[in-house]
Amino acid sequence: MAFDLDETHEDFRASVRAFTDQRVRPVVDEAERSGRPPERLWKEMGDAGLLGLLTPPELGGSAGEGGESVAIALVAEELSRACGGIAVSALVSAYMAGPHIVRYGTPEQQQHWATALAAGTAIAAIAVTEPGAGSDVAGITAKARHTDEGWVIDGRKMFITNAGLADVIVVGAKTSPDAGHRGITTFVVPADTPGLSLGAPLQKMGWHSSDTREVILDGVTVPDDAVLGGLDRGFYQIMAAFQLERVVLAGMGLGHAAEAIATATAYVRDREVAGAPLTALQTVRHRIAAMEVELDAARAVTYQAADRLDRDHPDAGRSVAAAKYFAAKAADHIVDEALQLFGGAGYLEETPIVRHQRDVRILRIGGGTDEIQLEILSKRLIP
């Protein structure tokens, strides 16, 4: 299944699109104004099976039949057609923070948190990025020291999506400071733990309906059983989780691009110039055709990357980097082209294309910048 979705995934896409049209689109304006998805939407997404695709059935999810990464990419694509901020809020909880608990958590951690995250009755965030360490995970400075009471965590985390909504935060900290990347551990930290505080919501260019803040850890004490996976194994767990995160972000790009093309096509069909629709102009028709070709190419590389990730293909890492790079750049270009077709109307806040223009730009930064993906792809050139 390198390029075409099978019938199961096509049917799943249709169900996610129906959910998006019926439950997400009507609340976009509310979410953009309030800076967060409506609380009721989380449970609705859980009931629709959108949050538990990696969670095993015994914990309330649907994982186990294969194709999970492809399905998650489709969720990212369809939700982003309506709103990037709402989409990333759900995707961070279920498929960026949640997988750490599903894959590495103890049975008690899984039962307590994974079940609730899949159901949409709890929200998760992941706190790795710091003011001075983004893609360079090994450069984090937050520290956790062991005491008779467990682990005491100190540090500052920045750009943390869902920080103000989360019930639980997966925190990365140095447990062996002199060991470099080999000395990082991840912890399950309930958001109400004493010593954990939050900065004010960050005012972002886009993703207005997602909550993003600084997380401050000042003497946060957690028990020994708060460790996720093995001690000093956090770097490897974080890097493994990046693979799915990058597929998710590529999928979001597909959604923004697809919606931009659909919106712009409808506009130029209705917009008349000199008594004829804009589609009468060859240059307009050709521009839309070129946008569709670019989207088709981005879909192909993204679906292939997701499929390879599901199959543990030896080239999965390279495919994921290629998808993240190409789909994010293609989406950025397609949305910009669509805005151009709107002319002056495309510069008005009341035009939906403006929100997609704001939201799509972050996809070339989050989860590893363009430059990080190119570095991954170029390493094979060096003997």
Residues serving a catalytic function are 245
Rounded distance between C-alpha atoms, residue 343 and residue 195, angstroms: 51
CB burial of 76-105 (b: ≥16 within 10 Å; e: otherwise) equals bbbbbbbbbbbbbbbbbbbbbbbbbbbebb
Q: Which amino acid is at 102?
A: V
Distance CA 315, CA 106 (A): 30
Q: What is the token pair recorded at 147?
A: 């005491």
For the chain, report the end-to-end CA distance as a whole number of angstroms: 32
Mode of pairing for the β-strands spanning 227-228 and 184-190: antiparallel
Helix, strand or coil for residue 211?
A: coil
Helices (H), the chain: 7-19, 28-34, 39-47, 68-82, 84-92, 98-104, 107-109, 115-119, 234-270, 282-310, 316-342, 352-360, 370-378
| Rounded-to-integer distance, Cα 279 and Cα 266, Å | 10
